A and B are shown apart, each in its own frame.
Chain A
């Protein structure tokens, strides 16, 4: 048992180290030696857990994907209606991006063409945003003339943009910036009959 726990810890620290090295050097230039060194383990230990750099990148993306799913599920479960859920999820995603290097690296890997992989995280985020907006349309909560897919395009482009800009300057991920964004957009998206009062700010007590 002790051994298993230690192996899990080593795996975790390798994933974190890989995320940091990918962020610093980019996927193509990141070396396994630099990753094992940063994790404080031997090259052999790295290879025991991950057969290749690509396997490490996949592990980073999987962990990031779990974080995105957790964020969207929590936002959907607690907020008052689909539009407020969108606001909550955007705030939570940006906060987490600013503090969680694995999530940041996961998104960046999706945008790094040298990996040849897909942008699974961005697609997952886009799918969720589209679903929520279509739900809002079905429930009659979107303002007249707002198309769910057009709104999704705007929101996804903006959030991916905040993520890209935030990778070099964290101020783009701040609550203030995201609140300004929603303060601008929310009044144009929302129709009458919302289940509660819509706020561009995150829920209190987060």
Chain B
């Protein structure tokens, strides 16, 4: 019984993310979200109570995806600077392929200043970047004399800039090559002279897509975009 309830909840969050992503927070209706999830509006109310409740659940899931990625990096023993690079690649790919990530940032932007965001995704990513930076400093992997504030501001801005500037219009491969080019410029400013060769600026293999450059056209994650088009055409 509990497993079924959990499944319903997940289906609703997924449907809500796709709806927020395609139509925005203001225009998404609970009726259409319930319908897309194949459930009644009553069932939706049972789980979430309101549109705000659903929006929070979507953002919470975006937050959880971030935490999971960070845990995976930590578990793999990824050096902190490489972790920063990989995290931005995953952010770019998530924005391209995952409606939950896109919807989470869209809600963060559209609802900024309107209500206290339960999980402001910009803030969450900025915090993670700052934490990795701190670890890099402790490990002696940052350039001498650059201070704390400069790199922190730079990384915070880059993380928010990727979510703000590059969400749409670029293929997975183009996004990955832009993030790599960005790091080729930033690394020499952050790490000690001669250390930049330690790091891979290209996307980690797991973030490159299953079929290399053309990934995303096959089912799964890439299907999100197709569904979205089909829905707005309907």
Which residues of A are at the interface with B, using a C-beta cutoff of 8 A?
23-26, 28-29, 108, 111-114, 119, 122, 126, 146-147, 149-151, 153-154, 156-165, 167-168, 172, 177, 180-181, 183-185, 187-189
Please judge, given known A-B contacts A29-B114, A164-B164, whether A147 and B157 are in contact too, CB under 8 Å. no
A161 and B185 contact, Cβ closer than 8 Å, known pairs A114-B26, A177-B153, A184-B146: no
Q: Which of B4-12, B75-83, B103-111, B203-211 contacts A (4 or more CB under 8 A)?
A: B103-111
Are A153 and B178 closer than 8 Å at their CB atoms? Answer: yes
- Shortest distance between the CB of B74 and any CB in chain A (Å): 24
Closest Cβ of chain B to A38, distance in Å, is: 15
Q: Tell me which residues from 154 to 190 in chain B have a Cβ below 8 Å from any Cβ of chain A.
A: 154, 156-168, 178-179, 181-182, 184-186, 188-190
A180 and B162 contact, Cβ closer than 8 Å, known pairs A26-B114, A161-B156, A172-B153: no
CB distance from A150 to the nearest CB of B (A): 3
Using known A-B contacts A111-B164, A147-B184, determine if residue A167 contacts B158 with beta carbons closer than 8 Å: no
State whether A164 touches B189 (Cβ < 8 A).
Answer: no
Interface contact A161-B157, CB-CB below 8 Å? yes
Q: What are 6 A-B pairs with beta-carbon distances under 8 A?
A: A24-B113, A26-B26, A111-B164, A114-B26, A157-B165, A164-B164
Number of interface residues of B (CB under 8 A): 44
Smallest CB–CB gap between A188 and chain B, Å? 5
Is B27 interfacial (CB 8 A cutoff)? yes
Cα–Cα distance between A177 and B111 once the two chains are bound (Å): 26
Q: Which residues of B contact A (CB under 8 A)?
A: 23-27, 106, 109-114, 122, 126, 146-147, 149-151, 153-154, 156-168, 178-179, 181-182, 184-186, 188-190
Across chains A and B, which 4 residue pairs bring their CB atoms closest together, nearest first? Answer: A161-B157, A157-B161, A150-B181, A28-B26
**Shortest beta-carbon distance from B185 to chain A in Å:** 4
- Bound Cα distance A147, B168 (Å): 24
Q: Hey, which chain A residues are within 8 Å of B186, CB to CB?
A: 154, 185
CB-CB nearest in chain B for A108: B109
B149 touches A153 (CB 8 A): no
User: Which residues in A have their C-beta under 8 angstroms from that of B159?
Assistant: 161
User: In angstroms, how far is the closest chain A Cβ from the Cβ of B99?
Assistant: 12
Given contacts A158-B154, A158-B158, A188-B185, contact A112 B110 (CB under 8 A): yes
Docked-complex contact B26 and A29, CB < 8 angstroms: yes
Q: Which residues of B have CB within 8 Å of A183?
A: 150
Are the CB atoms of B149 and A180 closer together than 8 Å?
yes
Contact indicator B110/A180 (Cβ below 8 Å): no
B153 in contact with A164 (CB, 8 Å): no
Q: How far does the alpha carbon of A122 sit from the alpha carbon of B167 in the complex, in Å?
A: 13
| B109: A residues at CB distance < 8 A | 26, 108, 111-113, 164
Chain B residue numbers with a CB within 8 Å of A112 are 109-110
With A161-B156, A161-B157, A165-B156 in contact, do A28 and B185 touch (Cβ < 8 Å)? Answer: no
Is A160 within 8 A of B110, CB to CB?
no
Contact between A180 and B185 (Cβ–Cβ < 8 Å)? no
A-chain residues with CB within 8 Å of residue B165 when the two chains form the complex? 119, 122, 126, 156-157, 160
Partner pick for B160 among A113, A156, A160, A189, CB 8 A cutoff: A160
User: What residues of B have a CB within 8 angstroms of the CB of A189 in the complex?
Assistant: 185
Least distance between B180 CB and chain A CB atoms (Å): 8
Q: Across the interface, which residues of B come within 8 angstroms of A165, CB to CB?
A: 122, 126, 156-157, 160
Cβ of B114: which chain A residues have Cβ within 8 Å of it?
24-26, 29
Residue of B nearest to A156 (CB): B165
User: Is A114 a contact partner of B25 (Cβ separation < 8 A)?
Assistant: yes
Given contacts A150-B185, A184-B151, contact A28 B157 (CB under 8 A): no
User: Which residues of B sit under 8 angstroms from A185, Cβ to Cβ?
Assistant: 154, 185-186, 189
Complex contacts, B188 vs chain A, CB 8 Å:
188
**A157 / chain B contacts, CB cutoff of 8 Å:** 157-158, 161-162, 165-166, 182
B110 A114 Cβ-Cβ under 8 A? yes
Contact A184 B160 (CB under 8 A): no
